[in-house]
Structure 1
Amino acid sequence: MAFPHAGVSRSYGSHASFAHFIPTSSPSSNIRDGGRGCIYHSKNEMERNRACSLSLTPFSFKSNGRTVKRRFLTSFSLSSSASASSTVEKSIMDAESNLIDALIGIQGRGRGISVVLLEDISQAVQSLESLVGVEEPTRSALIEGTWRLMFTTRPGTASPIQRAFVGVDTFSVFQEIQLQETVDQRVTNIVRFSEAIGELKVEAAASVANASRILFQFDRAAFSFKFLPFKVPYPVPFRLLGDEAKGWLETTYLSPSGNIRISKGNKGTTFVLQKQISKRQQLLQAVSSGVGVEKIVEKLIDENPTKNPADLQHLAGKWRLIWSSQGADANWLQKSTIGFPNWQIVEAETGRLQNVVQFFPGLKLRARARSQATSLQRRDVNIEGASLEVGSLSVPLKIMGAGFTEVLYLDKKIRITRGDRGSTFIHIRDD
């Protein structure tokens, strides 16, 4: 994806699929495995290949005036081949899952990403690229349609519009690709500001360069605002830009399911896009936009993958708060920390809790509590005190209290909890 154009290094991979056409030897020298319908040249061969499954096609020809019927082996598959195929499918599913997990909690589609998280995403991308996926993505119907941008490396050479819009969480960014069954091949980048405001659409004429690369040239763009009856032209004269309006997009991975695409552009940018996003990804999108969070929370609760989420085996770690709804009876301290970076640390051995709020660099509030599991989902919490930390100075605060927390949803990356006073919290693992 590029605004107005993007790029990157090339990555290739291939795998072979084939069928053999092998005539059997004379009927007298063949051994038939009647239970499997296989024909072998010797008993040893039969014993070595017990797992084979054959497809035999009758074949006839004239010999000395009479018809001779023979059978030709038109295709074969070995159980080991099926096993290998299953292994590859599982590897792809695992690698795609790892990439999606790595993207969970990334803000601004990669804006200001840490070195550690960037490395996790890079490894997940490289794993998928090494697995190949769809062999000739630009010639596949799976590349067609609307893709949601989930992540981009956004290097300094990215276009100004890309830097201006792509990193804003509240905007949704899409790419539409039209290559097949049309004379007007196009790649269109869309920034959707909100359903109430409208969108920016930047279009490019496209052509297929080879099995993995699309060439494009931006030729028109416009803002469509809901409150205006006409489109507002995008203030870039593409005709005057010459080669600056041109670029290419190299697809280095296209999922066999058609749901994930990794592409790289001519200016060194890597893009990760999806067609359908999971409910937990929808939750993070809703958190970014501030719309519909509670509705998706309720859907996720019904699909909680962890049977005993209050168990420290699953719950322990460092969690970053990304969203909360405060109940009417929420305490003043909880309400006063809304909007500041906030973490909860759950100790693996004891279940003790620390809530850390970063007001400013060098100024923190740290609250401490004991917790104990009282059911598969619930932990009782007893606040033992707090301190205001200014640099190396710690000022004790007399804050006490008791309550409970229900863990409504928990997976490797996301935790949803609800307190005894009705507040709901969404945390992202931040170990």
Structure 2
Amino acid sequence: MSANCISHQGLVRPAYGIALLKTSRSHRARAPLAHRSRPSALLWLQRAAGAAKQKQQRDKLAGELLALVGDTGRGANCSSGRTQEINEAIEALVALGTEQVTTDASLSATWKLLWTTEKETLFIVEKAGLFGTEAGEVYQVIDVGNESLQNVITFPPDGAFIVSSGIKVVGPQRVDFKFNSAKLKLPKRDIPFPPFGQGWFESVYLDDKIRVAKDVRGDTLIVARDGPPRLFE
């Protein structure tokens, strides 16, 4: 019998029918895969569009927040009405980033103070003139890899009040800290202070420019990224 034919119950049928059957089945098997790929691509595009829209919203709100704190003297000259506006802007930002992880490597930076409700910091900034000097920039230096934190108030050209702490990441937004040293750095000598205290802070919003943090005492901090971590000594 020819290789191109098969026999079944005395009938001779061409073997290419098997090939046609296999081809037909293979086409039917592949069709659902192609059909399923289209919704996946559409879903990806929808998610990408949603992420882009959310970033635009965050950037807009962050810009509004920066405008609100710009003329407040880092919080020292902030009216109750302005404070309320700032807090509302912060809450709007936080609502867009509730699932944001802010304790990874992106937290490591030298952060420059823009606004705070912390009374001790504002007191030193405001009253530095009583000690014959003037407060300069205020920084928070965080190095997640080295588990270190510094809070620094500078007194140009060479002075600074430096409080150093150890830190530990304990959640997606929370960091525990414990003070381990404090000193007033003067041009000719350093005056040490006994460190005491511990607590936590949560970076409730963070991007490539600013960070908003709340701490165990209910204070709020808004800082701007000012380069990689640099240690004050």
TM-score by length of 1: 0.42
Q: Deviations over 1:114-172 (max 9, x none)?
A: 1221122111111111111772211x111002101111123xxx5x4x24324468431
Matched, 1:143 2:107: yes
Equivalences for residues 289-328 of structure 1 within 5 A: none
| Contact kept in structure 2, 1:209 and 1:215, CA below 8 Å | yes
Distance apart, 1:232 and its partner CA = 2.0
For residues 55 and 206 of structure 2, what CA distance do their matches in structure 1 show?
14
Structure 2: which amino acid aligns with 1:84?
Answer: G
Distance apart, 1:28 and its partner CA = 0.4
**Which of 164, 167, 189 is 2:151 aligned to?**
189
Structure 2: which amino acid aligns with 1:82?
Answer: A
Structure 1: which amino acid aligns with 2:206?
Answer: L
| Contact kept in structure 2, 1:144 and 1:178, CA below 8 Å | yes
For residues 125 and 99 of structure 2, what CA distance do their matches in structure 1 show?
27
Matched, 1:128 2:107: no
Q: Secondary structure at the match of 1:267?
A: coil
In the other structure, the counterpart of 1:115 is 80
Structure 1: which amino acid aligns with 2:152?
Answer: I
Q: Secondary structure at the match of 2:94?
A: helix
Matched, 1:97 2:63: yes
In the other structure, the counterpart of 1:254 is 206
Bigger share in helix: 2
Q: Which runs of 5+ in 1 are unaligned?
A: 1-25, 33-37, 54-75, 278-431
Deviating above 6 A after TM superposition, structure 1's stretches of 4 or more consecutive aligned residues are: none
For residues 27 and 247 of structure 1, what CA distance do their matches in structure 2 show?
65
Number of aligned residue pairs: 197
For residues 181 and 29 of structure 2, what CA distance do their matches in structure 1 show?
72
Q: Secondary structure at the match of 1:105?
A: coil
Structure 2: which amino acid aligns with 1:124?
Answer: A
In the other structure, the counterpart of 2:215 is 265
In the other structure, the counterpart of 2:7 is none
Q: Secondary structure at the match of 1:175?
A: strand
Bigger share in strand: 1
In the other structure, the counterpart of 1:402 is none
| Contact kept in structure 2, 1:165 and 1:171, CA below 8 Å | no
Distance apart, 1:29 and its partner CA = 5.2
Equivalences for residues 205-284 of structure 1 within 5 A: 205-225=166-186, 227-228=187-188, 230-233=189-192, 235=193, 237-238=194-195, 241=196, 245-255=197-207, 257=208, 259-276=209-226
For residues 91 and 125 of structure 2, what CA distance do their matches in structure 1 show?
23
Q: Deviations over 1:201-225 (max 9, x none)?
A: 1111211122211111111111222
Equivalences for residues 346-357 of structure 1 within 5 A: none
Structure 2: which amino acid aligns with 1:104?
Answer: G
| Contact kept in structure 1, 2:213 and 2:220, CA below 8 Å | yes
Matched, 1:200 2:164: no
In the other structure, the counterpart of 1:28 is 28
In the other structure, the counterpart of 2:124 is 165
Of structures 1 and 2, the larger Rg is shown by 2
For residues 144 and 266 of structure 1, what CA distance do their matches in structure 2 show?
20
For residues 183 and 99 of structure 2, what CA distance do their matches in structure 1 show?
33
Inter-CA distance 220–110: structure 2 relative to 1 (3 Å threshold)? same
Distance apart, 1:40 and its partner CA = 0.4
**Which of 37, 40, 43 is 2:35 aligned to?**
40
Structure 2: which amino acid aligns with 1:231?
Answer: D
In the other structure, the counterpart of 2:8 is none
Q: Secondary structure at the match of 1:137?
A: coil
Q: Tell me the percent identity.
A: 21
For residues 174 and 44 of structure 2, what CA distance do their matches in structure 1 show?
35
Q: Deviations over 1:272-297 (max 9, x none)?
A: 111149xxxxxxxxxxxxxxxxxxxx
For residues 232 and 27 of structure 1, what CA distance do their matches in structure 2 show?
82
Q: Which runs of 5+ in 2 are unaligned?
A: 1-25, 128-133, 228-233
Structure 2: which amino acid aligns with 1:263?
Answer: A
| Contact kept in structure 2, 1:98 and 1:124, CA below 8 Å | yes
Q: Secondary structure at the match of 1:128?
A: helix
| Contact kept in structure 2, 1:149 and 1:272, CA below 8 Å | yes
